[in-house]
Structure 1
Amino acid sequence: MAEIKCIRDLLKMDLDIPGYQRPYKWNIRNIVDLLNDIGDAINDAETYGSSFKYRIGTIILHRNKKGKMDIVDGQQRIISLVLLLKYLEPSFVCSILNIDFTNKVTQANIHKNYRFIEEWFSLKKEVKRKYLDAFEKILEVVVISVDKVAEAFQLFDSQNTRGKELDPHDLLKAYHLREMKKYPYEMEHAVTKWEAKDTKDIRNLFKVYLFPVWNWSRGIKTKPFTAKEIDTYKGITEDKGYSYARRAGKAMPYFQITEPFLAGNDFFEMVDHYLWLLDDVQREMERNTAFEVFETILKKETGSVGFSYTRDLFYCALLCYYDKFHNFDELAVKKLFTWAYMLRVDMVNLGYDSINKYAVGEKNDRYTNSIPIFAKINVARLHTDIAGIHVKVIRNTDKASGEKWDWLYDKLKEINGLTGVSE
């Protein structure tokens, strides 16, 4: 029987760890990854709403002769989650806490990991409540329960993953490697290049930049980049005979965020290309003296999540522009920067929902500018079409975000040569 449970409900079950299980070997690095993954899930839930769930993976259980549920697969995660919940809620009790762990490796790792959890939260006391709530409202797991131990081990052997579900980019990696099965050496080279990259950079590339830009350029509000969305990046094979497949083949090695590519090796080349292109765009803002005032704002720490969203929005727009025109025209960049940061000036509370609406040009009486900037870049013939867009710098005192962002508004006026005047 398989069912989806929130993590708190899982840990309430009468669980036991059978003697054949290996010691608890998760270390501090595993705990850091777990804490970061939960943190990302909390941020996504705040961004996309209460319906967002983060599935940690699959747990396989077998009912033993005593009526308890032996953990066949998932004990490392379960023990780690118990440690975390026990710290967050000292009164929490569960069957795992009653187990007398005699293995020295298990004892040492439990002690070290619990101590690290205490240290980690000592610097992040403000998020303890969010992490605790996540156990019931965000984090979930697939629980497979069987009555025969042989069935449990058969399921265990058939599992393709351990821990959390594969990330979308990992699924894409596997998909495109399969497309390269006729070319083993190219497969080896692709894997070597992929493994040399930081997986967090790849995840961030798709989540924050490529997938949102793909949608916004089509006038579509974006959504979380999950396994359900990977068809966008499966590419197309030349043997389909489609005209756009032949066109994509002839276009290489030139990529476009908004255009398809050939399945297989081109996927890995595409990821490599956009990691470098994003780095180029960010370094240009740091090094080009013409953009010093932009860089000062981009680097500013305000403690505002909305300010971070705005920075990402600007870099998305700049990446989309540079991807198409391959220049940093000062006027065009200024227009993109002003367009993005005027949204922060406009809004008292700026969440990702507003970013999403603003990016596609949805009209709102709070927005000074309702410009579908990504769609305009997508259809522009010349870069001057973007440089010529009229971006307003006006602050409606009846609807503005308050004095907190006065400094930003003044900077935008200065950037646009409007100091001392009203646009």
Structure 2
Amino acid sequence: MGNLNSILAGTCTIKDLFSFEKNYTISIPDYQRAYVWDIKKVESLINDIESFYKENAQEIYYYLGSILFYKKDKNTYEVIDGQQRLTTLLIIDYVTNKSNSLLKTKSDLINFIFNSPISQNNIIKNKDFLIQEKNNLKDKKWLDIFSKLVVSVVITENQDDAFTFFDTQNHRGIKLSAVDYLKSYHLRELKEELGKQEIFAKKWDYNNQNQFLNLLYHQILWRSRMWKGRDVRYENNDMLLNEFQEKTQKPEIKNRINIYSNKKNRIAKSLEFNEYSGITLQTLPISLQTKAIDFPLELRQPIEKGIGFFLYTEKYVEVYNNLFETNHNIDSEIGLFQDFYEKVYLNADVSDYLKMLFKLSITTYYDKYEEYQLYPFALWLDFLIGSYRIKLDSIVELTPVKIIRDESQNLLDIILHSYQPDEVFHFIEKITDNEIYKTEKVVIEFKTQHRVKERYKKAILNYYLKGIESNLTNKKNWINDRVKDYK
């Protein structure tokens, strides 16, 4: 092996890799993403290897790509890149070797711990699939093949180098998303504080079930921050990384992030995180603990690297879940909003593009005013968005951009720069073409399946308790009546 700036590189068989001759351990760090290989990927790997050996002599070695390790201490090697392949090989070995498998004989040296439900589910499914294939694997001499699998091994003793490799490796498994890179980048900022790394990595994985954070960052957080004025466009991975990685700031004081005056904050100037006592607001005379949804953070505020980024993420995970996932009492402000959203936007199967804009606007409003008059805002927001649903025969990806960009002012800007909700309501009323409702001629036919405009109109009429033969001419009055009754 060669040695260059504490980076070692070489080649070995999988058998040698797991020989543990010097009593080292191999582990998967908490910040790694879940084990995501499914049966199709496992089957593809097996078929590739078997096809190779059909065409070549059994003594030839099969190259499995590179494995990247971070040497955490003298005897601990963390897998930075290659965990999908190594985990799959260990499952194959366990199924074919049972009591003599590595997971049985070297269990104290292989620290592959998977807390994510995604990982656990995929491991169980892949194991069950391989058990069904067990006889075929034995017939094709997989015990011999296993000893002839070769990998390139890269070992670095510098965590920065490890993450650099991690960011640039051409992954053999599923391509990393921008959100995966953000996680590794900001965990790197906590490299000297392993306790905090572990806490934030676990919270991140818990919040990222079913890749939820991709939705949150792409459809809510980036757009709420960057859709300003007439500069309204869809993001790509590079734009996401620029905003939430390159533009984030170094904290002035370790473990402490700056906060700014807003509805949740009139007295505090910073927020401090401790892995033992949690979150504390720092003020001159007092210190108050708080929970994520109450963090005095704002959508468009500057974001600090490391702790600041993870707390910002936690805050808006809870905000999103509070608005769209947690069921609230129908008598509450959020409960009234949720009832409307479910009956109109979910039950009527409104276009995903319009639902995205609705959620983005609701989240932005909540960031400014919390629950205060959230229900009237939802009704007025639908007054605007619904006019496009009635007017247009088809809703396309560009439609939400045009709704925000092509009006006299940007709705998201108006919300965040306003002082009272009425300013927002008046703006929406001003920019909405009420003639669309007055002249609409959508006919609801009595069929099992309704077209998109019909479904929306029917949902609106049902919500406002109007007959199916009614038109939408008086929709503005219906909204005003609901708002008066609700008050």
Alignment-derived partner of residue 193 in structure 2 = 183
Question: Aligned equivalents of 1:285 and 1:195: distance in 2?
Answer: 23
Alpha-carbon contact 2:361-2:412 (below 8 Å) kept: yes
* TM-score, with length taken from structure 2: 0.50
Q: Deviations over 1:23-50 (max 9, x none)?
A: xxxxx96237979xxxxxxxxxxxxxxx
- Which structure carries more relative contact order (alpha carbon 8 Å, separation 6+)? 1
Residues 1:220 and 2:231 are matched in the alignment: yes
The answer on 1:250 being equivalent to 2:269 is yes
Larger Rg: 2
1:30 aligned to which of 33, 37, 40: 37
Task: Measure, in 2, the Cα distance between the counterparts of 1:175 and 1:381.
Answer: 36
Deviation at residue 398 of structure 1 after TM alignment? 9.3
Q: 1:33 to 1:176 in 2, by over 3 A?
A: farther
How far, CA to CA, are the matches of 1:311 and 1:33 in structure 2? Answer: 33
For residue 319 of structure 1, report the CA deviation from its aligned partner: 0.5
Query: Which of the residues 377, 384, 389 maps onto 1:332?
Result: 377
- 5+ residue gaps, structure 1, are 1-18, 23-27, 36-63, 79-102, 116-149, 364-369
1:73 maps onto 2:65 in alignment: yes
Equivalences, count? 304
CA RMSD of aligned residues (A): 5.0
Structure 1 residues 411 and 286: CA distance shift in structure 2, 3 A: farther
The alignment status of 1:196 with 2:218, answered yes or no, reads no
Contact 2:249 2:302 in 1 (8 A): yes
1:375 aligns with 2:424: no
> Aligned partners of 1:69, 1:155: CA distance in 2, in Å?
19
Instruction: Output the CA distance in 2 between the equivalents of 1:33 and 1:382.
Output: 54
Q: Do the aligned residues in 2 keep the contact of 1:72 with 1:156 (CA within 8 Å)?
A: no
Which letter does structure 1 place at the counterpart of 2:217?
F
Matches within 5 A, 1:109-120: 112=129
What percent of counterpart residues are identical?
14
The residue that corresponds to 1:316 in the other structure is 360
- Contact kept? 1:73, 1:156, Cα under 8 Å: no
Shift of the 398–70 alpha-carbon distance from structure 1 to 2, 3 Å rule, reads farther
CA distance in 1, matches of 2:13, 2:326: 57
Match status 1:422 vs 2:469: no
Partners of 1:188 and 1:328 lie apart in 2 by 36
Preserved CA contact (<8 Å) 2:354 2:400: yes
Q: What is the alpha-carbon distance in structure 2 between the residues aligned to residue 251 and residue 65 of structure 1?
A: 64
Distance 1:345 1:361 in 2: 19
Could you say what secondary structure the match of 1:153 adopts? strand
SS at match of 1:259: coil
Q: Give the secondary-structure state (helix, strand or coil) at the position aligned to 1:262.
A: coil
- Matched AA of 1:30: W
Which residue of 311, 320, 327 corresponds with 1:278?
A: 320
Deviation string, structure 1 residues 2-38 (Cα, Å, up to 9, x no partner) = xxxxxxxxxxxxxxxxx9678xxxxx96237979xxx
- The structure whose residues are more often strand, as a share, is 2
Q: Structure 2: which 5+ runs fail to align?
A: 1-11, 16-34, 43-54, 67-81, 86-93, 98-124, 133-149, 157-161, 262-267, 272-294, 444-449, 475-487
Q: Which has the higher helix share?
A: 1
Distance of aligned partners of 1:73 and 1:357 in 2 relative to their CA distance in 1, 3 Å threshold: farther
Which residue does the alignment assign to 2:180?
Answer: 170
- Offset at 1:371? 6.2
CA distance in 2, matches of 1:33, 1:381: 54
What's the offset of the Cα at 1:226? 1.4
Provide the C-alpha distance between the structure 2 equivalents of 1:34 and 1:383, rounded to a whole number of angstroms. 51
Q: Which amino acid in the other structure matches residue 318 of structure 1?
A: I
TM-score by length of 1: 0.56
- Residue 231 of structure 2 aligns to a residue in which SS? coil
Instruction: For 2:196 and 2:126, locate their aligned partners in 1 and report how far apart those are by CA, in whole Å.
Output: 40
1:316-363: CA deviation from partner (whole Å, max 9, x where unpaired): 1100100111124132221123323332222222121222222x2326
Give the Cα–Cα distance (whole angstroms) in 1 for the partners of residues 366 and 228 of structure 2.
14
Q: Secondary structure at the match of 1:210?
A: helix
2:84 & 2:192 partners in 1: Cα distance?
Answer: 37
